Structure 1
Amino acid sequence: MRKSQHGMITPTQATILIINYTLSVGILTLPRMAANEVGTPDVWMALLISSLVPLAMAFVIITLNKRYPNQTFYQYSGLIVGKFLGLFIGLVITLFFITDTIFAVRMMAEVVEIYLLEETPITILIVIVLWLSLYLVVGGITSIARVSQIIFPLTILTFVVVALMSLGLFELNHLRPVLGEGIRPIFKIKSMALSTLGVEIILIIQAFMTDQHKAKKVIFLGVLVPTVIYLLTLVMVIGALSIDGIKNLTFPTVILIQSFEFPELFFERYDSVFLIIWTMQIFTTLSISFYLASLGLSQLFNKDIKPFMYGLLPIIFILSMAPKNLYQLSWLGDMIANVAFVLFGIVPCLLLLISFIRGKVQ
């Protein structure tokens, strides 16, 4: 792989890429999804259990990557299962990242149109975001990592401030009783496990790391930080609005922030600040997906990456306009999450097994 063409990233940058990729739409929708699935205030326990799922997936992926150092999954999958089957799997993963980009850009446009830029056509918002994303991904993985490094501390700071401000609305009784319906509900972890996925990108980006031996540390922190932020989000939203109060809210986190009242600060739209930072956050998410999709086509067909970047742009734009409403968009998000579980949970296990049987190939 000609790394100079795509750039290199440090383990710290790789960690931040995984964190940013994981922290996207889930911040807005996870409380509602968790409340409807678990149905009790013990959702925070279910979240902790669900965090073991991406860790297990990542362990398999890292083990597989180690057998083919300095190569992305797109490049070594054909060595394991043959050229044509490897091409097919690579194209499926590429399609996954394309669909993920479509979902992210459309969800970002929907939220911005609802809360920030009312009456602005969705089409205009999507065009602007996609061109900005194209400008970023043309610079390669290093450029995306550097932008993520700028956005990451702003994200952390924002969530700390939001958590502190929510203390005025927090009621501990909303998190009680603990295990009131027994231990069974906390194992209803599907929605949370799917929302915390993001480690799958290590399947590709590990090949660009300057020190690939630190992949386990990268994954551990890449799962830990989003888990803590999601946990904080669940606790503060449920503590303020109650488990029953958020079941029918599309974006419970935004509703919570809109409830803040601090007249002495002479500032009313706290949700605007949060959503601006969230917009930057999801922008990095869709840019990562956009880049990985373009990289996949480039490496699978052994061509220059830039024509694929420009070629995917109108395709993503057209398909992002397909969902007619938030319900259809949510359905698309659920489908992506379910496919991710199969594609990055089961396929790497099978390929690792085949790789062991056939022997190590570098």
Structure 2
Amino acid sequence: MNLENGQINGRQLIFLIMGYILGSSVILPPGTEAGNSSWLAIFCGAGEGLIIAFIFTVLARRFPNQTAVQFNSIVYGPYLGSIVSVAFLWYIFNLGSIVTRNFTDFIGTVFMPETPTLIVGIAMIFAAAFAVYQGVEVIALSSVILVPLTVVFFLISYMLQINTFDLQNLLPFLDVPMEKFLGAAHGAATFPFAEIVVFLMIFPYLNPSKLSPMVEIAGISFSALVLSLSAVRTIAVLGNTAAIFTYPSFEALKLLNLPFFNARMEIIVGINFMTMGFLKITILYYGTVLGIAQLFGLRRYQILIIPVGILMLIFSMLNFNNIVENMEYARITYPIYALLFQAWFPLITLGIAMIRRQGGAKE
């Protein structure tokens, strides 16, 4: 039973991947443990992310018209496949709740400290629910509009602020122990690049159905470039003080001073950031409700939008007691936990499918 009739093309998929990767990375930049070499850790993390993405790209090409929930039942059988699918959907759902918490904390801390985070969360989930109800085609069209606007604004603000850069802050180069640098690079791979494993729920709706690896390479590479340039700006503007800020990239942008434009630039920046968060939450939300509907053989996934949205909001409030716990989880626990779903799940699934000669494409 086909629950989604929408179709997206390769260009839209690139923008979707970019918006998803930039997502919460614009407010919580990856690779910060590498200090003033965080920009390089991001590039290395993108390289590892490309390797992981290659694994689930081959898997998606082997089952071109099926989501992860659908090909799990083929590869593992109906019972074990359901267990694997439940675990994968839990990862997507839990990640969606964490990203929601990231942005409710960001908005509540920076813009509306007197507003309860629950109210902010309801507003974000409501906006995402509306997009999810419309389907993958509308979500993709939203990315085509929002992602280029974000990138253009980023480049304009970058050029306007470049005269305030102190490039001495980028030195000494690679002054952290190698194991710490590699840990930062791996952290950048798992957050955010390899998180596009969730697109195993979206790849079947690509038209034409033959997924090109160049699409993922383009999406990851462009995103890595934007995040690396952002890291360079943060270090060049804030120097060693970047480590004391919860949202260093936002703090760096707040220092953009335009004498001919008397307005609070951080408000525009914040709106720009939130559009990327909206895209990431929406994609995770969509993948969750679509997967649950396929798992239970429902006729329409839309009936799950409200209950899943309520649960995602509740979990976002319960996951962490404060921002510090959230950041510690992202730095220590998540790179280990996420790799199970980002790399090991698709690798084992692909290996079993190849041994059993399952799937349409046998490359």
Aligned residue in 1 for 2:34: 38
Deviation string, structure 1 residues 156-207 (Cα, Å, up to 9, x no partner):
0121122113213201111123345686664341222222323213322111
Q: Equivalents in 1 of 2:44, 2:66: separation in Å?
A: 32
Aligned residue in 2 for 1:14: 13
Q: Equivalents in 2 of 1:276, 1:292: separation in Å?
A: 25
1:292-307 equivalences in 2 (<5 Å): 292-303=287-298, 304-307=300-303
Q: Pick from 345, 348, 362: which aligns with 2:346? A: 348
Quick one: which amino acid aligns to residue 112 of structure 2?
L
Evaluate the alpha carbon distance shift between residue 57 and residue 270 of structure 1 in structure 2; reply closer, same or farther with a 3 A threshold: same
Aligned residue in 1 for 2:187: 191
Percent identity over the alignment is: 22
1:58 aligns with 2:53: yes
Quick one: which amino acid aligns to residue 349 of structure 1?
L
Aligned residue in 1 for 2:308: 312
Q: Pick from 226, 230, 234: which aligns with 2:227? A: 230
Quick one: which amino acid aligns to residue 317 of structure 1?
L
Quick one: which amino acid aligns to residue 271 of structure 2?
I
Evaluate the alpha carbon distance shift between residue 308 and residue 332 of structure 1 in structure 2; reply closer, same or farther with a 3 A threshold: farther
Quick one: which amino acid aligns to residue 221 of structure 2?
L
Q: Pick from 168, 176, 182: which aligns with 2:171? A: 176
Deviation at 1:98, TM superposition (A): 1.2
Aligned residue in 2 for 1:216: 213
User: Paired residues, what number?
Assistant: 355
Do the aligned partners of 1:199 and 1:223 also contact (CA within 8 Å) in 2?
A: no
Deviation at 1:229, TM superposition (A): 0.6
1:1-362 equivalences in 2 (<5 Å): 2=2, 5-30=4-29, 34-35=31-32, 37-39=33-35, 41-179=36-174, 186-188=181-183, 189-197=185-193, 198-242=195-239, 244-267=240-263, 269-303=264-298, 304-322=300-318, 323-334=320-331, 335-362=333-360
Q: Equivalents in 2 of 1:201, 1:319: separation in Å?
A: 19
Evaluate the alpha carbon distance shift between residue 83 and residue 63 of structure 1 in structure 2; reply closer, same or farther with a 3 A threshold: same
Evaluate the alpha carbon distance shift between residue 138 and residue 72 of structure 1 in structure 2; reply closer, same or farther with a 3 A threshold: same
Do the aligned partners of 1:62 and 1:202 also contact (CA within 8 Å) in 2?
A: no
Deviation at 1:71, TM superposition (A): 0.8
Q: Please, which runs of 5 or more residues in structure 1 have no aligned partner?
A: none
Evaluate the alpha carbon distance shift between residue 61 and residue 150 of structure 1 in structure 2; reply closer, same or farther with a 3 A threshold: same
Q: Once structures 1 and 2 are overlaid, which stretch shifts more, 285-294 or 257-266?
A: 257-266
RMSD value over aligned CA atoms? 2.0
Q: Please, which runs of 5 or more residues in structure 2 have no aligned partner?
A: none
Q: Equivalents in 1 of 2:325, 2:309: separation in Å?
A: 22
Do the aligned partners of 1:258 and 1:271 also contact (CA within 8 Å) in 2?
A: yes
Q: Equivalents in 1 of 2:99, 2:279: separation in Å?
A: 10
Do the aligned partners of 1:73 and 1:204 also contact (CA within 8 Å) in 2?
A: yes
Deviation at 1:214, TM superposition (A): 4.3
Q: Equivalents in 2 of 1:127, 1:192: separation in Å?
A: 29
Evaluate the alpha carbon distance shift between residue 132 and residue 153 of structure 1 in structure 2; reply closer, same or farther with a 3 A threshold: same
Quick one: which amino acid aligns to residue 327 of structure 2?
S
Q: Equivalents in 1 of 2:137, 2:191: separation in Å?
A: 26
Q: Equivalents in 2 of 1:217, 1:277: separation in Å?
A: 27
Evaluate the alpha carbon distance shift between residue 215 and residue 259 of structure 1 in structure 2; reply closer, same or farther with a 3 A threshold: same
Do the aligned partners of 1:64 and 1:348 also contact (CA within 8 Å) in 2?
A: yes
TM superposition score normalised by structure 1: 0.92
Do the aligned partners of 1:169 and 1:240 also contact (CA within 8 Å) in 2?
A: yes
Q: Equivalents in 2 of 1:274, 1:8: separation in Å?
A: 32
Q: Equivalents in 1 of 2:103, 2:44: separation in Å?
A: 29
